[in-house]
Structure 1
Amino acid sequence: MLTTNKVIIDLGAVRHNFRQIKTLAGAGVVAVVKSDAYGHGMIPVAQTLEPEGPTYFGVFELEEAMELKASGCGVPILIMMGILAEQVSAVVDNGFTVALFQKAIARRISDAAQQRQTVVPVHIKVDTGMTRLGVTWADLPDFLQYVLPLKGIHLKGMFSHFAVSDEPDLAFTNKQRERFLWAVNESDKLNISFDDLHVSNSGAILTKKGLDFGLVRPGIALYGSSPAKMPSKNISLKRAMSFKSRIVQLRSVPADTPVSYGCTYNTKSSSTIATIPVGYDDGYNRLLSNNGEVLVRGTRVPVVGRVCMNLTMLDVSSVEGVSVGDEAVLLGAQGKEEITAEEIAEKIGTINYEIYCSIGKSNLRSYLYPAE
């Protein structure tokens, strides 16, 4: 790889995390690989996890499902967004499992399935309090009564999504769980017995909420992080992503020298300024201007001046022996220090999910494959 910047994905860490989650949950796993596996690479992650026996791979939309199937994936694929009317034929023809929560789509799936003399597995998406996607929990009996007579549809599963399972106060999570249990009971009254029930996302898995439904649905935990600032006390996770660059220029400057656009930073004394070829085009957020830190020779050094589109400046005055070509770690470990996605997220007022997606999707990735 000739690029100066590289995002390194440790697939051994992803496999480790999957095994940890499966052991903790004592349940089957819907491994969420949507959004290019949170920036980690959907296809390499799926290929690493397939031998581990996930029950499903969870993707967001049809395009991801098509890409995953084309890679040779043999695990059932769940499209969690559901589908649009014009996508019904592709779902039926490719045997995907789809989230279902609209009567009009149910009718179209039924018609298409009957035309092809096949059956389409669906997971009913129930909104228990997220107010995002799904059949409102109180409306579920009416929806099921509509879908139940439709031929060509296999009511394979039902799921929901916790809104605040990553927060210490579990009152609302408990309320959502109660609503989901009610939905299961209402389904039983209609003689519907779902094979697959899942409600536990990463936060719920780590707090052991909703583990009694047979399946869990981890996302960010697969990649080594807990949601928000939540400690992963019940499990040992390994972060899978690191982001590294190299110093391309060093210069010694006197005190009161302005650095970067807008002259928002002036050196306070004689300083050594390093330039690295990383900027907001590479997913390194501009809000890290005069705010971020980078590791050089195992030492934390500050970002000085504004982050540019392709370049960022560092004050490396404290680093003994610093040289052009030295590695600069923006995410990950070097020596005894580590910069985490959680640390970066806190500095710029966002969440670790966004850090992974932004960096992972903006750079060429290289992979560390697990030992057999």
Structure 2
Amino acid sequence: MSKTWVEIDTGILKKNILAARKTLSVGTDLIFVVKSNAYGHGLLPVADTAWSCGVKFFAVANVDEGRILRDALPKAMIMVVGFVDENEVREAMRSNLIVMLVNEEHVLRLEKVARAIRSKLKCHIKIDTGMGRLGVPWWEVADLAKKIRKTKGIEICGICSHFACSDSHQKAFSELQVRRFQEAERGIEENGIKILYKHISNSGGVLQNKLWDMDGVRIGIMLYGYPSADLSVREIRVRPFLQWKTRIVQIKDVPTGFSVSYGRTFVTKRSTRLATIDVGYADGYFRSLSNNGYVLIKGAKCPIRGRVTMNMIVVELNRKVGKISGDEEVVLIGRQGEEEIGADDLARWAKTIPYEILTSIRTGDRRII
């Protein structure tokens, strides 16, 4: 059995939610993005906590996540931001999920199923204003709206888009996306479809411009404690609420010239105390952290020595650690004493982003504190 676990501090999450909500424009919903198992934090504990704080609207990655969340929160508004195909329409309707429409073919396929069961599928039109991923190009939206108006199985509840560069100091492209979105909105309304709900902004957008709030803002990474740095026109103080911990499995004193782990990529230059730690890339601890990352033991940063292996890593116990029994907690993400390692630190060392670090954690043991 793995000795690795995750701790979720829901008290911090509540403070993050309150900090974000109080800055939003009047009438703007906080749409909490809990996709991909709440960015690796745990879908149900995160959503339950948010609901207790008054959050009523959630975004998930797929119909399966939507069904799980619907069972837990019968009265919530739940939107699937990923692609939904015709085989999932019945479940989406049973779970009362809002689905994104991405092009004409998609509309026709989903509408056919909904019409066959004599019901209407709740949908938002996803408009591609420059992300280049899912969505109807903004210049095609008006024509699509004409065709949707004639269907019997689709209910258009809103429209949305997604910023491509809202985590950048350069606002020009985000501003262009907003103008394109507004152009598409006018085209839809000119074709007789009243738009009840509009949303484009995400964590970066919320921090950059209040005018982008519209009816709802989809906030993800910021609520998990990792806002985009130095972008804010709003003062929103948030903190990470996930800690990832493990245990030492062996301590050994080795001489000068002792090699560590596969490939002998680290060789000691002096007598060294090493600790073998119960975590590896099978747990989601990136192999790119080999000889390149740190853990916390007794409040001291201890460097990884040698390659990260499937289930274990080796670290050097520096002098600050002092006497050690081997029963001490090892912090992979979190605070210990005066030191802290965040998902953003691991991301920097591994040359990736905090999103990937958090959603890669595969530790099954999750504890609510």
For normalisation by structure 2, the TM-score amounts to: 0.94
The secondary structure found in structure 2 opposite 1:24 is coil
Q: CA deviation at 1:56?
A: 2.0
> Given that residues 201 and 213 in structure 2 are in contact (C-alpha distance below 8 angstroms), is that contact kept between their aligned partners in structure 1?
no
Report the CA distance shift for 1:59/1:199 in structure 2 as closer, same or farther (over 3 A): same
The secondary structure found in structure 2 opposite 1:247 is strand
Q: 1:39 is matched with which residue?
A: 40
Report the CA distance shift for 1:145/1:55 in structure 2 as closer, same or farther (over 3 A): farther
- Cα distance between partner residues in 1 of 2:332 and 2:94: 44
Number of equivalent positions? 365
Report the CA distance shift for 1:6/1:93 in structure 2 as closer, same or farther (over 3 A): closer
1:45-79 deviation digits (Å, cap 9, x = unpaired): 11111233334211111111122223344202111
> Given that residues 282 and 362 in structure 1 are in contact (C-alpha distance below 8 angstroms), is that contact kept between their aligned partners in structure 2?
yes
Q: 1:5 is matched with which residue?
A: 4
Q: 2:258 is matched with which residue?
A: 257
Unmatched runs of 5 consecutive residues or more in structure 2: none
1:66-122 deviation digits (Å, cap 9, x = unpaired): 222233442021111231122222223332111112323323443444444433221
- Cα distance between partner residues in 1 of 2:210 and 2:46: 26
Report the CA distance shift for 1:51/1:200 in structure 2 as closer, same or farther (over 3 A): same
> Given that residues 159 and 199 in structure 1 are in contact (C-alpha distance below 8 angstroms), is that contact kept between their aligned partners in structure 2?
yes
- Cα distance between partner residues in 2 of 1:112 and 1:53: 34
Q: CA deviation at 1:264?
A: 0.8
Of 243-252 and 112-121, deviating more is: 112-121
The letter of the residue matching 2:121 is V
- Cα distance between partner residues in 2 of 1:108 and 1:272: 63
> Given that residues 208 and 231 in structure 2 are in contact (C-alpha distance below 8 angstroms), is that contact kept between their aligned partners in structure 1?
no
The letter of the residue matching 1:185 is R
- Cα distance between partner residues in 2 of 1:209 and 1:172: 16
The secondary structure found in structure 2 opposite 1:192 is coil
Q: 1:277 is matched with which residue?
A: 278
The secondary structure found in structure 1 opposite 2:90 is helix
- Cα distance between partner residues in 1 of 2:67 and 2:34: 13
- Cα distance between partner residues in 2 of 1:239 and 1:253: 37
1:154-198 deviation digits (Å, cap 9, x = unpaired): 211100000000011111111101111111222222232222111
Sequence identity (%): 37
Of 85-94 and 342-351, deviating more is: 85-94
Q: 2:341 is matched with which residue?
A: 339
Q: 2:311 is matched with which residue?
A: 310
The secondary structure found in structure 1 opposite 2:223 is helix
Unmatched runs of 5 consecutive residues or more in structure 1: none
Q: 1:351 is matched with which residue?
A: 353
- Cα distance between partner residues in 2 of 1:111 and 1:299: 61
Q: 2:144 is matched with which residue?
A: 143
- Cα distance between partner residues in 2 of 1:308 and 1:113: 49
Of 139-148 and 50-59, deviating more is: 50-59
Of 144-153 and 88-97, deviating more is: 88-97
Q: 1:200 is matched with which residue?
A: 201
- Cα distance between partner residues in 2 of 1:206 and 1:317: 40
Q: 2:14 is matched with which residue?
A: 15
Q: 2:331 is matched with which residue?
A: 329
- Cα distance between partner residues in 1 of 2:74 and 2:261: 47
Q: 2:161 is matched with which residue?
A: 160
Q: Does 1:102 align with 2:103?
A: yes
Q: CA deviation at 1:231?
A: 5.6
The secondary structure found in structure 2 opposite 1:223 is coil
The secondary structure found in structure 2 opposite 1:46 is helix
Pairing 1:48-197 to 2, within 5 Å after superposition: 48-197=49-198
> Given that residues 206 and 213 in structure 2 are in contact (C-alpha distance below 8 angstroms), is that contact kept between their aligned partners in structure 1?
no
> Given that residues 258 and 267 in structure 1 are in contact (C-alpha distance below 8 angstroms), is that contact kept between their aligned partners in structure 2?
yes
- Cα distance between partner residues in 2 of 1:250 and 1:275: 6
Q: 1:247 is matched with which residue?
A: 248
1:177-235 deviation digits (Å, cap 9, x = unpaired): 111111122222223222211100111011125534121000111211124x5566621
- Cα distance between partner residues in 2 of 1:210 and 1:291: 42
The letter of the residue matching 1:345 is A
- Cα distance between partner residues in 1 of 2:290 and 2:6: 21
- Cα distance between partner residues in 1 of 2:52 and 2:153: 31
- Cα distance between partner residues in 1 of 2:38 and 2:182: 30
